[in-house]
Structure 1
C-alpha cells in the first residue's frame, strides 16, 4: 500500500528554489521557535518580577498591614466590650488609629495598582470590593463595641469577617488557576498559611482576653479556642518546611523562641482545664507575655517574606539565570544559522537549477535533434554532441551532470545502432515485398486465365477462393512496402467514385460475407489516394471481422461532412478497454513507427497510411459494445460527383423473421475502378466469392479490369435476344472462353464464340454471381446428403 504524502498536492513546493528554501527554512524556523520560547519564558519571568514588585507594594503589603491592624483592634474591642474602662478604651482607640492608617494605605494601593487584576483571577475584583466594604464597615463595628450594643461573639464575627476577606484577596493573588504566578518568587501560598496560623493565634488572644475580662469562658468560646489551637499548630507544622531557607529560618527563630513556648504551655493549660476553669488555668499576664511577642515575631517574619519580591531586580543575573543565557546564545545561533542557510541554499539552488536546465535542454532539444539526424541518415560526432568532462568532478551535482552526458552518449549509440538495424530491416522488407508483388501479380494473371478458361462451377469456385487469398497476400506485401516508407505499386490517374474505393477495400478483407455496406456519399476520390484508402479500409475491415463473433455483421457506412467525408467501420465484438483503446489511438497518431514491434504492425500500417494522405483515424467504443473506426477524409482529395455518374445502389435490408442463411444479401455491385498505373503489366482479377455460404459478390480490390476491346465489331455476342447470357441445362450461366480478352491476346478458339458486348456491366456481373449462388443453394436443398466445399 503506497504511503500517503505528508502534504496535499497544492501545498507541496514545485520549484527547486522553493524546495531548497523549505528544506533550509524548517530547521531555522525550529531553532527560532526554540529561541522564541526561551525569550518568551525569560520575558515572562521579567514581567512576573515586575508584577510581583508592583503587587507587593500596592496590594500584598497593605493587605498584610490591614490584617495585622484589624487583628489588634479585634482584641482591643473584645476586651473593651467585656470590661469597659479607661485602659481598655485607650487601647481600643490606639488600635483604631492604627487600623485607620492601614485602611488608608490599602485604598491608596488599590487605586495606584496598574496590574490587570482580573487577568490574574476573575474573582479578585469582587473579593477586593468585599474587602473594601469590610474596611468601611469597621466604623459601625467600633460604635457597637463602644456602645455595648453588640456582644463579644458578634464583635469577633465581624472583625473575623474582615480578616477572612483580606486572606481571600491574598489567596487570589497567589492562586493556581494560571500557569505563571507570583508565588514562584515570594512563597506566597506558604506565607498565607502561616498568616492564617497567626490569625488563629490572634483569635485565641481575643477569646482569652474577653473571657478574662468577663471572668468566665462560654462553651462556644472554648470550642472556638480549641479549633484555633489545632489550626495554628497544623498550619505551622506543614508550611514552615516548604519555605525558602532564608524565610524558614526567620519563622523558626520565632516558633522556637521562649515566647512561643509560653504560648504553647498556656494553650495546653486551657485545653486541659476545660471551659469552666479556663480563666483560672492561665492568667492574663501569663498569656500576654507569650502571645504578644509571638504575634509580633510572626508579623515581622511575614513582612520579610513578602518584601523579598519588592527587592528583586528583573534584569539581574539571579532573576534571569540560565534562561537569559539561553536567550543570548539562541539569538547568536539563529543569526549564524540564517547566514549559513542563505549561503548554502543559494549555491545549492544555482547548481540544481543549472543541472535542471541542462537536463531539460538535453531531453527537449539536443537529444531529439541528434536522434532526428540519425534517423535521417546523417552521421554525428559523439564528442561534439556529448563532450565528456576532462577533469575529475568531486561535486555530487557535477557527477550527476556527467552521468547525464554518459547517458546521452549511450542513448545516441543505441539509436544509431537501432537506426542501422531498422534501415536494414526496411531494406529487407522492400526487397521481399517487391519480389512478392511480382510473383503475386504473375499468380493473379495466371488465376485470371484459368478462371476464364474453365466451365466447371466447382473448379471456378476454388479458383475464386485462390484469387481472394492471392489478393489478400498482395495486401500484406503492400503493407511491408508501406511500413518501409515506400509507395505501393498501384496508382490511378483519374478520380474514382468513393463507393468503388470502399468496395475494393472490403473485397480485400478476409470474411467479406459479414460486411454490410450502407449509405456511402456520392463523391469521387483523387486517384493518387485510391490505393491508400483501399488498403486502409481493408486493414480496418479485416480487423473488425477478426475480433468480433462470426455471426455478427461488420457495418461500413459513410457520410459527407463539412470537412470532407467520414467513413465508419463498426463491429459488434467484445470491444477494448479504455487503456487499450487509448494506446491504440496513440499508436495510430504516433510520428515514429517501431518496425521491430511485430504485435502492432496493423496499427502501424494504418498510421503510415493516415499520415501519408492526411487522414484522421480514430478508434472509439461502439454503441453495440464493439469498436468503431472513424476515417475522416479531407476535402482536398475529394471531388463533387460529375454529371452522368450512376446513382448509389439501394441496399436490400434483411427481413427480421427470416433465417440468416435465407435472407437476401445486400445489393453490392462490383466496383468499376479505372485501370491503375502499375509497375508490372496490367493483371486483370475477377470478383472473388465468399469462403463459404451465400454472400454478396463484393470485389476483391481495386484490381485492374480487362482492357476494353479496341475492335468490338470483331467480337461475338454470347447473349440472347433478351439480353441474357446463354445457360446450361441446369439454368446456370455458361462461360465462353476468351470472350473478354482483347483480340491480340486470344489463342485460336476452336469454336466461334457468340457475339459479346464491348464490356460487361457491373449489373450483369452481379446477376451472374447471384445466379451461381442461388443455384448452389437450390442444389443443397434438393440433395442434402451431397457435401461439397463452401459455396459462393
Structure 2
C-alpha cells in the first residue's frame, strides 16, 4: 500500500507533465546510451594517451637499453679481440641507461596502477643501470669467465624484459600490434643476440664449450619456436617488415650456420673459419632488421598513434557523433511535437471550459428568460477532419449543440405550457368572476341562515378557484387581474388572505400594527400569504390553530405564519427555502407549485420569505415586507401594537369575510 501511495504521489498530475514525462523517457534512454558511448570513446582516447606516455617515458627507453645491452654483451665476450668495439658499445649503453633513468624519473604514470609488480622491477632495472661500471670491470678483469660475463649481461637483459612484460598490459593502442606478440618477437630477437654472443666468444677462444653449445642450441630452439608463430599473429601492416627479414639472404645464411654448428657439436670444428663464414654480418643484419620491425610494430606504432584517429575512435567515435545528432534531433522533435500537442490540448481544455463555464450557461439563461438562441451562431458545427484532438473538439461542439437543442426544446415546451396556463386561467377567471357576481346577488336575496351559509361556502370555493387561476398566471409571468390604487390596511390584507382558504376558521389573526400596504403590492401580498396560510392549514392537524402575526420592524413589517404540525427536517426545510429563493422556476416540477408561486411573488415585489422550524415543533413561514411597500397609519403619539417584537396582542381580531374586491 505504501508503494501504491508513493507511486500515486510521483505520478504526474497535469497533461503537460504527463506528455513531458512520456517524451522524455526515450530521450533519457537515448542520452544514457549516448553517454555510455561517449564515456567509452573518452576512455579509449585516455588509454591511447596513457599508452603514448608510457611508451615514450618507459617502454621505448627500456627497449633501447635492452638493445644496447645485447650489443654490449656480444662485444664484452670479444673484448680481448676488439677492445675498441667494446668501448663503443659501452658508450651506447651508457647513453641508453641515461635516457632510461630520465624516463623513469619523469614518468607521469603511476607504476603501481599499471602493474602491482612494476615498481619493484623498475627499481631492480635502475640498480642494474647503476652497476654497469662494476659489471664491466668484472667482464674485463684478467681471468674473467666468459660464461659468467654472459650470465651477468643476460640477467640485466632479462630484467629489462620483465619491465616490458609488466608494461604490456597498458601499451595496447589501435595502431600497435598486440603487446604479447611484440614481446614474443623481442624474446626471439634476444635468442638471435644470444647466438651471436655465444659464437663470438667461442670464436675468440677457438673452441665451443659444452656449456656454450647447450646455450646455443637452446637459443636456436627458442628463436625458431617464437619467431614464426609470432609473426603470423601480427597485424598485416607490421607483418611485412618481418617477412622481409625472414625472406632475406641474411636470415637464410643465419639458419645455415645454425644447422652446421648444431651438426658439428661442441669443440673447435664448430667455430672454424669454414663453419662461421658470413656469420657476423648475417647475424648483425638479422638483428638490425628484427629491431626495426619490432620498433615499427610496437613502440613506433604507439608513438605515432593518434588519440582522435580512426584506429582509436573507430565505430565508437561514429556512434558518439551519430548519437549526439540523434539526441539533438530527438530533443528538437520532442519539443516541437510536445509543444504542439500541449498547445492543442490546452486550447481544447480552454474551449471546453469556455463552453461549460460561460457560453452554455449564458445561452441557458437566455432560453430560461424566454429569449431565442441561434444554435448555429452559439456552437457552429465543425467538420470531422484532422487528428483525434480535432475530433474531440468536434464531439464537444456536438455535445454543446445537443444541450442547446434540448434546452431550446424544453424552453419551447415550457413556453407552450405557459401559454396553456394563461389561456386556461383567463377563461377560468371570466367564469369565476361571473360566478362570484351571481353568488353575491344570491347572498343578498336569501334570508335563510342555512342556505346563506351554504352560499358562503360556495363563495369560499370560488374564491379559492380564482386564486388558483391567478397562480397559473403568476407562474406564466403574467400579472393577475386584481389590483388596488390606494393603500390597504395590513389587517384587511391579512383577512383577505385568510378568506381565500377553505379552513379559514382555524386561523387566528393577532393584533396587527396600523400599517397599510401600497395598492400595487396588495394583490401579490394577499396571494402570497394565502398560499402560506393554506399550506400551514393543510399540513397541520385539523384540531390545531394556525397563528398569523404581524409586527412593525425598523425597516419594514414582519409577518409570521405558524402551524402546530409535525414539522420538517433540515433537508426538507433547505429544499423548500431553495425553491422559494431560487432564481429559476421549473414549471415541470408539479409537486410544490405553491412554493413556486411564492417564489414568483417574492421576486416581483422584492419581499423576503423564509421557512423555519417553530419552537412548538411545527413550521413558521416568515414574510418581510420592506419599508417602501408600506405606509404608516399610526396617529401621532400612539404606540405601535407589538413594538418591534412578535408578541401577540391582548385580544384576537374577529375573523371577517373579505373578498378583496377593492377599487
- Taking structure 1 as the reference length, the TM-score comes to 0.47
| Equivalent pair of 1:493/1:528 in contact (CA under 8 Å) | no
Match of 1:238 among 229, 233, 236: 229
Cα distance in 2 between the residues matched to 1:32 and 1:128? 44
Matched, 1:161 2:210: no
Q: 2:381 aligns with which of 376, 380, 389?
A: 389
The aligned counterpart of 1:262 is 253
Shift of 1:313: 4.7
Alpha-carbon deviation of 1:197?
0.4
1:62 corresponds to: 61
Please give the alpha-carbon distance, in whole angstroms, between the structure 2 residues aligned to 1:148 and 1:359: 112
1:184-205 alpha-carbon deviations (Å, 9 max, x no partner): 5355433222111001121222
Counterpart secondary structure, 1:174? helix
Deviations along 1:431-451, whole A, 9 cap, x unmatched?
xxxxxxxxxxxxxxxxxxxxx
Q: Distance in 1 between matches of 2:129 and 2:314?
A: 41
| 1:344 equivalent among 332, 337, 344 | 337
| Aligned match of 2:189 | 198
Runs (5+) with no aligned partner, structure 1? 425-485, 496-525, 537-590, 593-635, 641-673, 678-792
Q: Which residue of 2 aligns with 1:309?
A: 302
Instruction: Decide which of 99, 107, 112 is 1:105's aligned counterpart.
Output: 99
1:136 equivalent among 126, 130, 135:
130
Aligned: 1:96 with 2:90? yes
3-state SS of paired residue (1:175)? helix
Distance 1:324 1:357 in 2: 48
SS at structure 2 position matched to 1:185:
coil
Label 1:531 to 1:275 Cα distance change in 2 as closer, same or farther (>3 A).
farther
Change (3 A) 1:357 1:171: farther
Deviations 1:193-240, CA, capped at 9 Å, x for gaps: 211100112122233334444555555544433332222112211121
Give the corresponding residue for 1:583.
Answer: none
| Aligned match of 2:475 | none
Cα displacement (A) at 1:103: 0.4
Q: Report the counterpart of residue 298 of structure 1 in structure 2.
A: 290
Q: Match for residue 491 of structure 1?
A: 540
Note the C-alpha offset of 1:100: 0.6
**C-alpha separation between the residues in 2 aligned to 1:246 and 1:207?**
33
Q: CA deviation at 1:122?
A: 4.6
Aligned to 1:530: 566
1:36-47 equivalent positions in 2, closer than 5 A: 36=35, 39-40=38-39, 43-44=42-43, 46-47=45-46
Q: Could you tell me how far 1:53 is from its partner in structure 2?
A: 4.2
Q: How far does the alpha carbon of each residue in 1:414-438 deviate from its partner, in whole angstroms, 9 at most, with x for none? A: 89999999xx9xxxxxxxxxxxxxx
CA distance in structure 2 between the partners assigned to 1:342 and 1:69 by the alignment: 66
**Residues 43 and 493 of structure 1, relative CA distance in 2, 3 Å threshold:** farther
Helix, strand or coil at the partner of 1:103: helix
* Structure 1 residues 130-151: Cα deviation after superposition (integer angstroms, max 9, x where no partner): 3222222333322322336875
Equivalence for 1:355:
348
**Take 1:90 and 1:494, find their aligned partners in 2: how far apart are those partners?**
154
User: CA 1:324/1:95 → structure 2, altered by over 3 Å: closer, same or farther?
Assistant: same
Distance 2:542 2:355 in 1: 47
Q: 1:13 to 1:128 in 2, by over 3 A?
A: farther
The two structures, once aligned, show a CA RMSD in angstroms of 5.0
Structure 2 CA distance for partners of 1:127 and 1:491, relative to 1, 3 Å: farther
Match of 2:547 in 1: none
Gaps in structure 2 of 5+ consecutive residues: 418-534, 545-561, 573-577, 580-611, 621-663
Contact 2:52 2:302 in 1 (8 A): yes
Name the CA distance, whole Å, in 2 between partners of 1:286 and 1:340. 76
Shift of 1:67: 0.8
Bigger helix share: 2
SS in 1 for 2:96: helix
CA distance in 1, matches of 2:539, 2:381: 55
3-state SS of 1:530 partner: coil
Q: Distance in 1 between matches of 2:618 and 2:118?
A: 114
Contact in 1 for aligned 2:364/2:407 (Cα 8 Å): no
Bigger shift: 127-136 or 227-236? 127-136
* Contact 1:386–1:405 (Cα < 8 Å) also in 2: no
CA distance in 2 between counterparts of 1:35 and 1:275 reads 67
The residue number in structure 2 matching 1:21 is: 20
- Asked if the contact 2:172/2:178 (under 8 Å) is kept, the reply is no
Query: Is 1:402 paired with 2:401?
Result: no
1:531-680 alignment, distance < 5 Å:
531-532=567-568
**Pair 532,198 (structure 1): closer, same or farther in 2 beyond 3 Å:** same
Quote how far apart the aligned CAs of 1:257 are: 1.5
Q: Secondary structure at the match of 2:176?
A: helix
